[in-house]
């Protein structure tokens, strides 16, 4: 798309224009000074680089997330406006949809990933976490991203979905593509889409009913077709949502938690002293690192937001990560504090589109951190962590560590 072609309702002098590219490599390397700049410039800013409005304070991010009638998702939650451009893939029936269509599909996925279902899979997920820690204790020195943050979700989530053993190597590249594609037409997005064909082919095929094992989340979604809740053409697209958003996100979430606990040994010790903090230690890592950094909305009408007038059809970029460290909302926001009351953070979003898989993520995080803290005395970072660059996701590519058994 051509960002320069869109009209700018720059008539409102109250909105500061900033020369910031939040999708540039140097931004990704250290986003925090820019997050502060965005927050302090005003409640609503305008980014000339991509012709979009931006909100980086907690109050405005929360307000936009919770007004889906004004700030819609059906025109895409990336920079691309589906009203003006053809989406790179058929739109998601849940992420890129508005009520009432969204309400129906959301209800299906909510049921498939409900607290009741989590109770059923809990023991299995916990046992797999213990096994993973067994393997890590044998190694002592390893890459906490590949061997832990990736290996653990890969050992449970594809099976929980009911995926075939073949072709699973496409899962992380596909998710990486999806999250790069929310960004602007930069190198990251263009390269990802250029290489997308084999990953898309795998995903399309794997979402079909006959390719999903009975009893898995995927089969449960297809079973709703028989109840008449969704159509046979909708079911594969809803399975696709779990393949897109269910794996790479938890990889980055667990990676974030381990990176935090390795960097802040006092918090690690606190967790070891009280294992019931494991779930909150994960939650706080999601606030602190915000594995999903940003999403867009599109205005359905002219709207005033905290004194700023935004016209119809404008893209609004929400800086979830900046909101999660807004000092207006959080006490000592730049401290990783595993006992913090972190409820209310927007790392999983908020409102009707809040992450439908949040219970899966929390369960994986909780049982993994519990298993680690039970048996490991120390985690030491032994080499320079390498960052993985993505237009939406924040996480590491590698984190060399050595562990000391308890």
Partner 1 sequence: MPAITFIHPDGKSDHIETSDGESAMQAATRHGLDGILAECGGNAMCATCHVYVDEAWLARLPALADDEDALLEGTATERLPNSRLSCQIMITPALDGLVLRLPERQV
- Which stretches of the chain bind partner 1, using CB under 8 A? 107, 110-111, 114-119, 279, 283, 341, 343-345, 348, 350-352, 354, 356, 358-359, 362, 366
**Helix, strand, coil distribution of the chain in percent, nearest 5:** 50, 15, 35
CB of 342 to partner 1, least distance (A): 9
Q: What is the largest CA-CA distance in the chain?
A: 63
For partner 1, which is the closer residue by CB, 163 or 285? 285
124 vs 102: CA distance, rounded Å: 31
261 vs 373: CA distance, rounded Å: 10
Q: Is the dihedral of CA 293, 351, 57, 10 positive or negative?
A: positive
CB of 49 to partner 1, least distance (A): 31
72 vs 245: CA distance, rounded Å: 19
Query: E strands along 36-165, which residues?
Result: 45-47, 52-55, 71-72, 141-143
CB of 352 to partner 1, least distance (A): 8
For partner 1, which is the closer residue by CB, 286 or 379? 286
Question: Is residue 248 within 8 Å of 176, Cβ to Cβ?
Answer: yes
CB of 394 to partner 1, least distance (A): 21
Q: Nearest 5°: CA angle at 315, between 343 and 310?
A: 95
CB of 118 to partner 1, least distance (A): 7
For partner 1, which is the closer residue by CB, 24 or 352? 352
For partner 1, which is the closer residue by CB, 356 or 396? 356
What backbone phi and psi angles, to 5 degrees, belong to 318? -100, 120
Distance of CA 78 to the CA centre of its chain: 13
For partner 1, which is the closer residue by CB, 341 or 386? 341
Strand 386-388 and strand 308-310: pairing?
unpaired
CB of 341 to partner 1, least distance (A): 7
For partner 1, which is the closer residue by CB, 177 or 367? 367
For partner 1, which is the closer residue by CB, 189 or 362? 362
CB of 330 to partner 1, least distance (A): 14
Question: Is residue 271 within 8 Å of 373, Cβ to Cβ?
Answer: yes
- Compute how many other C-beta atoms are within 10 angstroms of the C-beta atom of residue 159: 16
For partner 1, which is the closer residue by CB, 170 or 287? 287
For partner 1, which is the closer residue by CB, 282 or 296? 282
**What single DSSP character describes residue 175?**
H
- Compute how many other C-beta atoms are within 10 angstroms of the C-beta atom of residue 38: 23
DSSP secondary structure string for all residues of 134-164: HHHHHHSEEETIIIIIIHHHHHHHHHHHT--
CB of 53 to partner 1, least distance (A): 24
């Amino acid at each position: 798309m051509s960002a320069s072609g869109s009209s700018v309702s720059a008539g409102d002098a109250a909105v500061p224009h900033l020369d910031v590219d939040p999708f540039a490599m140097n931004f990704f390397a250290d986003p925090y000074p820019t997050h502060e700049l965005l927050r302090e410039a005003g409640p609503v800013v305008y980014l000339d680089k991509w012709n979009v409005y931006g909100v980086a304070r907690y109050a405005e991010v929360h307000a936009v997330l919770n007004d889906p009638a004004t700030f819609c998702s059906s025109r895409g939650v990336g920079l691309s406006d589906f009203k003006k451009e053809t989406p790179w893939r058929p739109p998601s029936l849940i992420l890129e949809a508005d009520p009432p269509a969204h309400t129906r599909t959301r209800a299906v996925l909510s049921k498939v990933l409900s607290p009741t279902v989590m109770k059923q899979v809990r023991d299995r997920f916990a046992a797999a976490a213990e096994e993973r820690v067994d393997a890590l204790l044998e190694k002592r020195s390893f890459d906490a991203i590949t061997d832990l943050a990736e290996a653990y979700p890969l050992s449970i989530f594809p099976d929980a979905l009911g995926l075939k053993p073949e072709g699973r190597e496409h899962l992380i590249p596909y998710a990486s593509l999806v999250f790069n594609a929310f960004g602007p037409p930069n190198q990251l997005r263009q390269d990802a889409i250029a290489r997308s064909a084999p990953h898309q082919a795998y995903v399309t095929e794997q979402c079909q009913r006959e390719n999903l094992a009975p009893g898995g989340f995927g089969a449960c979604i297809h079973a709703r077709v028989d109840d008449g809740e969704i159509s046979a053409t909708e079911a594969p697209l809803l399975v696709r949502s779990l393949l897109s958003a269910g794996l790479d996100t938890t990889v980055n979430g667990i990676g974030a938690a381990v990176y935090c606990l390795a960097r802040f040994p006092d918090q690690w010790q606190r967790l070891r002293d009280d294992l019931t903090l494991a779930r909150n230690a994960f939650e706080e890592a999601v606030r602190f690192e915000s594995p999903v950094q940003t999403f867009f909305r599109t205005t359905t009408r002219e709207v005033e937001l905290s004194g700023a007038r935004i016209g119809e059809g404008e893209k609004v970029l929400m800086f979830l990560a900046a909101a999660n460290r807004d000092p207006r909302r959080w006490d000592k926001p730049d401290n990783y504090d595993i006992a913090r009351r972190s409820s209310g953070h927007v790392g999983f979003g908020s409102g009707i589109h809040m992450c439908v898989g949040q219970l899966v993520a929390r369960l994986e995080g909780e049982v993994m951190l519990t298993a680690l803290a039970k048996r490991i005395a120390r985690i030491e970072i032994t080499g320079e962590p390498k960052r993985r660059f993505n237009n939406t996701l924040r996480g590491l590519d590698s984190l060399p560590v050595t562990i000391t058994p308890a």
